């Protein structure tokens, strides 16, 4: 099979598109023909050796797939050949034409969703849903500030925040991105390249500050939001797309009475599988009725996976970027 391989940690440009050993399912695994791959900001960090996990080289990066079952381990009874699924890949390996997965981990892909939609849904939307439902416990009527609101998971946070009934403030770096975020349901937009972020948040919350901040950016934006929180607020740590992991003067949480809350969706799916399954049922219902819509920015062939990663890490994306095996590109 073809795969995009990290031969050694280094630059994204050093990835190699080449033949790689076909995976063989063990007794409790399924073999999947990959139809779509979700591209995420950490994929670039992983290749550069800057992520919290460092698999042994050579390996294929990528952690979320959508595909069709083409092989069954001898003990597998919960899947049949031809079944469609979406799944995280906890050991990476998604940037390939095939993958083996533990049979207990994937989620069936509903018939009303395409493979492209499945590839765009899982990581970005699953993260936002878990963050707002379980970690923030966002309530109708509260104010949600979404940093990086035009990106894949930011877009999902905007849509889910509105589904819950929150007032959503989108924060972006350009007017074009703000228009996109508002098209996804954001009530208010803040262009932080033109406005003082703290002052704008205070203005749009009548001086209270944000009840919940969904932060995938880190860096200066985190620093600012840590001083613009409402009493009993929740500042969600989701990612560090700015490239700087911020440090928090913890006296701010004491004086302002807010909570700093970490969000690690991948670990959550393993530690709380029943809650994760319930989350996916709600997400699928929202997709079916149009409340949540996976927004796809660009589809790349696997052979151009380097370009896909660089596009995402360049922070110019509006929605989700996905990769498909070259033979799946029509």
| 174, 82: one domain | no
In a domain, 57, yes or no: yes
In a domain, 180, yes or no: yes
| 300, 249: one domain | no
Number of domains in the chain: 2
Q: How many angstroms separate the CA atoms of 214 and 225, rounded?
A: 10
Tokens of 37: 């791959």
Q: How many angstroms separate the CA atoms of 74 and 29, rounded?
A: 8
Give the three-class secondary structure for 149. Answer: coil
> Please, are residues 271 and 250 in contact by the beta-carbon 8 Å criterion?
no
**CATH number, domain containing residue 240:** 3.40.50.720
| 140, 241: one domain | yes
| 242, 130: one domain | yes
In a domain, 281, yes or no: no
Give the three-class secondary structure for 3. Answer: strand
| 207, 242: one domain | yes
In a domain, 276, yes or no: no
> Which of 153, 176, 170, 183 minimizes the C-alpha distance to 319?
153
Residue 183 lies in domain: 124-266
In a domain, 156, yes or no: yes
Beta strands in the chain (DSSP E): 2-5, 16-19, 29-38, 64-72, 84-88, 98-102, 107-108, 143-147, 167-172, 188-191, 210-215, 229-237, 259-262, 296-301, 320-324
The per-residue pLDDT string of the chain (330 residues; one tens digit each, 9 = 90 and over) reads 999 999 999 999 999 999 999 999 999 999 999 999 999 988 998 999 988 888 999 999 999 999 999 999 999 999 999 999 999 998 899 999 999 999 999 999 999 999 999 999 999 999 999 999 999 999 999 999 999 999 999 999 999 999 999 999 999 999 999 999 999 999 999 999 999 999 999 999 999 999 999 999 999 999 999 999 999 999 999 999 888 999 999 999 999 999 999 999 999 999 999 999 999 999 999 999 999 999 999 999 999 999 999 999 988 899 999 999 999 886
| 128, 238: one domain | yes
Tokens of 280: 């996916």
């Amino acid at each position: 099979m073809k795969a995009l391989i990290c031969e050694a940690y280094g630059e994204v440009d050093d990835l190699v598109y080449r033949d790689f050993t076909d995976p063989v399912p063990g007794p409790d695994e399924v073999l999947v023909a990959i139809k779509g791959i979700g591209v995420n900001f950490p994929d670039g960090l992983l290749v550069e050796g800057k992520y919290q996990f460092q698999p042994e080289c050579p390996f294929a990066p990528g952690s979320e797939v959508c595909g069709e079952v083409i092989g069954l381990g001898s003990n597998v009874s919960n899947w049949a050949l031809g079944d469609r699924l979406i799944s995280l890949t906890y050991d990476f390996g998604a940037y390939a034409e095939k993958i083996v997965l533990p049979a207990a981990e994937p989620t069936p892909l509903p018939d009303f969703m395409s493979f492209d939609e499945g590839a765009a849904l899982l990581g970005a939307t699953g993260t936002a849903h878990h963050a707002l439902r379980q970690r923030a416990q966002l309530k109708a009527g509260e104010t949600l500030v979404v940093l990086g609101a035009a990106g894949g998971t930011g877009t999902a946070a905007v849509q889910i925040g509105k589904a819950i009934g929150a007032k959503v403030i989108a924060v972006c770096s350009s007017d074009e991105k703000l228009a996109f975020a508002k098209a996804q349901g954001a009530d208010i937009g803040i262009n932080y390249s033109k406005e003082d972020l703290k002052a704008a948040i205070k203005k749009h919350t009548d001086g209270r500050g944000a009840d919940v901040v969904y932060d995938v950016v880190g860096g200066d934006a985190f620093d600012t939001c840590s001083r613009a929180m409402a009493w009993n607020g929740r500042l969600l740590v989701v990612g560090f797309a700015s490239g700087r992991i911020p440090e928090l003067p913890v006296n701010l949480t004491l004086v302002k009475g807010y909570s700093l809350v970490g969000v690690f969706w991948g670990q959550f799916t393993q530690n709380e599988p029943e809650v994760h399954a319930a989350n996916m049922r709600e997400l699928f219902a929202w997709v079916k009725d149009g409340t949540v819509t996976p927004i796809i920015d660009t589809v790349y062939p696997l052979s151009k996976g380097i370009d896909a990663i660089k596009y995402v890490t360049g922070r110019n994306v509006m929605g989700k970027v996905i990769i498909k095996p070259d033979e799946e590109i029509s």
